């Protein structure tokens, strides 16, 4: 094996809790129902915090729980300073926050400020006239002379990105549903109002924010038409067919350079509070990696950002994972990246990585191991630690508006949002109600938390062992990363080194056994089962990895020993 480029400075302050942390995403509707109405809630999350502390995560990202008409299940906020009754009360969130902090767990809230609900008081006032105090808080434009929308921009969830409002005789812009009008970040009053929302929750005591669609905050005020998409091969998205939205290159409706100033204002506010952070979601079909780097470059922008490069269908290879990491590090060598294989918007990784329609727990274990080993912050989506596959949702039970728009080509995002299986009872311990908001597949019950805790070789037990081992080896949190050329394209190999310790991380991304050579200087090999890490003397010159297997080689010093 031969060494390649060393990536990543290791001189950043090591007391920033988010740097190299493992953060667990909770979709609150589907985690735990405490009042048996079929919908998960904040008290339910509080009931499960001991499980998360035992799992070994550093923080929790909770998807939106603010007051909302739920057209997009919380991503359409009508009151940024209150909790939707479906999820509980401000007092419930206070108790959750206090209990999490007592367990050493940080809380990140999902703040959606690129748009609001149409029921938000800001929009209710803005839509009435063209000259009221909030008339310019949203993006309004006159029709073309023939009455059609101002330009060709398309909404992600279908149809034009414009809806006509008879009160004003104008169209308003929405990147998603018509019920989600976009705020106008060209207006400084809007920016100030949004910053006040951040301040409210910072004063409340949250540890950070996940910023939904952060590169959508600003549009090109000239409203020029987007050009057609010329190269569909570059689109990093899971859909295998072009929608009208994907038929455009989104040059003018999002990802504008002027938005960096908004990011800097958010960071300046966060810097007034100790130990707070912001992670941005970058939604860009072509340039997600580059934009992620731009939004995190330096000390005056976001602390970190993740993109969808490892959540796309084409990421199922050693080569694609390496390319994604190298692309980010080359675009933003001073930036800090976050990685995820799954979240609430994409098909679950166990299904995306399945072979011939069959999921394999060995693959789920390997993916968790990769997340725990890469340089960056790791995000694990609820159920990923169980190896849950995508749930099939019958058409009559589909809730997701995106799924209704694209059915039967795609069932939407409900398949990754089905309730968490805690045991193998009728409703998997999620609720006592007979009909939870989304169906729980029978195939998820054998993968329940209760069953996996009893199985030493389960994905859950392996995840716990891996996260504990990561915490015991700081080099995996703060070391540089140096990719190594493996014996073939199926082996992902890289070295982490912080000067005090070095670890060679090896992953066999194939269904056949692989013999992987390595250089001199490694004294110890570490392998895993659900009961923990197993250490033995490293074999001479070569290690054999089982299909989807992985192993770590420890150097006797921190100088590395990767050369063949």
Q: What per-residue confidence (pLDDT) applies to 561? A: 47
Helix axes 188-204, 259-270, angle to 10 degrees: 30
- SS3 state of residue 201: helix
pLDDT at 284: 80
Mean pLDDT of 138-154: 98
Query: pLDDT tens-digit profile of 16-33?
Result: 999 999 999 999 999 999
Please, is 492 exposed, middle or buried when counting C-beta atoms within 10 Å of its C-beta (0-12, 13-18, 19+)?
buried
Dist CA 550 CA 542 (whole Å): 13
Q: Evaluate if residue 558 carries a pLDDT over 50.
A: no
pLDDT class for 89, splitting at 50, 70, 90? very high
Per-residue pLDDT of 433-475, as tens digits, reads 879 999 999 999 999 999 999 999 999 999 999 999 999 999 9
What does the buried/exposed string (b/e) look like for 159-192 if buried means 16 or more CB atoms within 10 Å of the residue's CB? ebbbbebeebebbbbbbbbbbbbbbbbbbeebbe
Q: What's the mean per-residue pLDDT of the chain? A: 92
Give yes or no for a contact between 401 and 157, defined as CB atoms under 8 angstroms apart: yes
Q: Is the pLDDT of residue 2 over 60?
A: no
Band (241; pLDDT cuts 50, 70, 90) = low
pLDDT at 200: 98
User: Percent of the chain having pLDDT more than 90?
Assistant: 79
Q: Can you give the pLDDT at residue 313?
A: 67
Pick the CATH number of 16-118+204-391+445-466 from 3.30.420.40, 3.20.20.80, 3.20.20.10, 3.30.70.100: 3.20.20.80
How confident is the model at residue 265, as a pLDDT?
A: 98
State residue 12's pLDDT score: 44
Q: Is 145 exposed, middle or buried (0-12, 13-18, 19+ CB in 10 A)?
A: exposed
φ, ψ for residue 537, nearest 5 deg: -65, 135
Tell me the two tokens of residue 413.
């995002």
* pLDDT tens figures, 111-127: 999 999 999 999 999 99
**Count of alpha carbons within 13 Å of 206, Cβ hemisphere only?**
22
pLDDT > 80? residue 331: yes
Residues near 195 by beta carbon (within 8 Å), at least 6 away in sequence: 265, 266, 269
Q: Is the pLDDT of residue 557 over 90?
A: no
Written as six digits, the tokens of 326 are 């190298």
Domain map (residue ranges) of the chain: 16-118+204-391+445-466
The whole-number pLDDT of residue 235 equals 62
Residue that wins the pLDDT comparison between 240 and 182: 182
| C-alpha to C-alpha distance for 549 and 512, rounded to whole angstroms | 10
CB atoms within 10 A of CB 517: 11
Question: Can you tell me the mean pLDDT for 343-354?
Answer: 94
Mean of the pLDDT values across residues 102-110? 98
Residues 6+ apart with CB under 8 A from 309: 236, 288, 289, 315, 324, 327, 328
Whether the per-residue pLDDT at 357 is higher than 90: the answer is no
Pairing of strands 277-281, 304-306: parallel
What's the pLDDT at 230? 87
pLDDT band at 501 (very low <50, low <70, confident <90, very high): very high
CA distances from 247 to 1, 85, 152, 214, 231 (A): 42, 39, 11, 22, 9
Question: Which of 4-13, 114-123, 173-182, 284-293 has the least mean pLDDT?
Answer: 4-13
Mean pLDDT computed over 186-196: 98
Per-residue model confidence as pLDDT tens digits over 365-420 = 999 999 999 999 999 999 999 999 999 999 999 999 989 988 888 899 999 999 99
Q: Among all residues, which ones are annotated catalytic?
A: 212, 281
């Amino acid at each position: 094996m031969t060494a390649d480029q060393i990536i990543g400075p290791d001189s950043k302050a090591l007391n920033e809790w988010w740097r190299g942390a493992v953060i667990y995403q909770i979709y609150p509707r589907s985690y735990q129902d405490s009042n048996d109405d079929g919908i998960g809630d904040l008290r339910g999350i509080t009931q499960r915090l001991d499980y998360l502390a035992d799992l070994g995560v550093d923080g929790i990202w909770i998807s939106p729980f603010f007051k909302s008409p739920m057209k997009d299940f919380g991503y359409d906020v009508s009151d940024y300073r209150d909790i939707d009754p479906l999820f509980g009360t401000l007092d419930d969130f206070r108790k959750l926050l206090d209990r999490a902090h007592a367990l050493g767990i940080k809380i990140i809230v999902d703040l959606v400020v690129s748009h609001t609900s149409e029921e938000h008081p800001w929009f209710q006032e803005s839509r009435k006239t063209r000259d009221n105090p909030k008339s310019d808080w949203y993006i309004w434009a006159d029709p073309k002379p023939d009455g059609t929308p101002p330009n060709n921009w398309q909404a992600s969830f279908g149809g034009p990105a414009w809806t006509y409002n008879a009160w004003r005789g104008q169209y308003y812009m929405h990147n998603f549903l018509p019920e989600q009008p976009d705020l106008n970040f060209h207006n400084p009053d809007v920016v100030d109002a949004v910053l006040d929302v951040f301040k409210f929750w910072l004063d409340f005591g949250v540890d950070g924010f996940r910023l939904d669609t952060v590169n959508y905050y600003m549009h090109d005020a000239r409203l020029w038409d987007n050009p057609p998409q010329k190269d569909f091969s570059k689109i990093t998205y899971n859909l295998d067919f072009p929608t009208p939205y994907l038929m455009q290159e989104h040059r003018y409706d999002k990802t504008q350079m002027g938005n960096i100033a908004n990011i800097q204002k958010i960071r300046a506010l966060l810097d007034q509070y100790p130990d707070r952070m912001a992670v941005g979601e970058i939604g860009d079909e072509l340039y997600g990696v580059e934009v992620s780097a731009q939004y995190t470059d330096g000390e005056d922008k976001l602390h970190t950002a993740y993109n969808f490069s490892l959540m796309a269908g084409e990421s199922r290879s050693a080569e694609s994972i390496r390319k994604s990491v190298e692309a980010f590090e080359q675009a933003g060598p001073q930036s800090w990246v976050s990685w995820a294989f799954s979240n609430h918007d994409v098909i679950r990784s166990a299904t995306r990585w399945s072979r011939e329609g069959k999921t394999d727990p060995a693959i789920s274990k390997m993916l968790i191991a990769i997340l725990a080993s890469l340089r960056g912050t790791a995000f694990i989506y609820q159920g990923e630690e169980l190896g849950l596959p995508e749930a099939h949702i019958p058409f009559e039970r589909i809730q997701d508006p995106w799924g209704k728009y694209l059915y039967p080509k795609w069932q939407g995002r409900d398949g990754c949002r089905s309730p968490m299986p805690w045991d193998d009872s009728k409703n998997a311990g999620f609720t006592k109600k007979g009909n939870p908001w989304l169906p729980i597949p029978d195939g998820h019950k054998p993968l329940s938390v209760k069953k996996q805790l009893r199985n030493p070789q389960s994905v859950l037990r392996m995840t716990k062992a891996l996260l504990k081992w990561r915490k015991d080896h700081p080099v995996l949190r703060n070391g540089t990363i140096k990719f190594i050329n493996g014996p073939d394209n199926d082996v992902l190999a890289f070295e982490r080194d912080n000067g005090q310790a070095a670890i060679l991380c090896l992953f066999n991304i194939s269904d056949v056994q692989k013999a992987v050579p390595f250089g001199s200087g490694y004294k110890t090999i570490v392998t895993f089962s659900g009961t923990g890490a197993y250490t033995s003397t490293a074999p001479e010159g070569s290690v054999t990895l089982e299909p989807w297997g992985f192993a770590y080689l420890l150097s006797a010093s921190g100088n590395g020993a990767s050369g063949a």
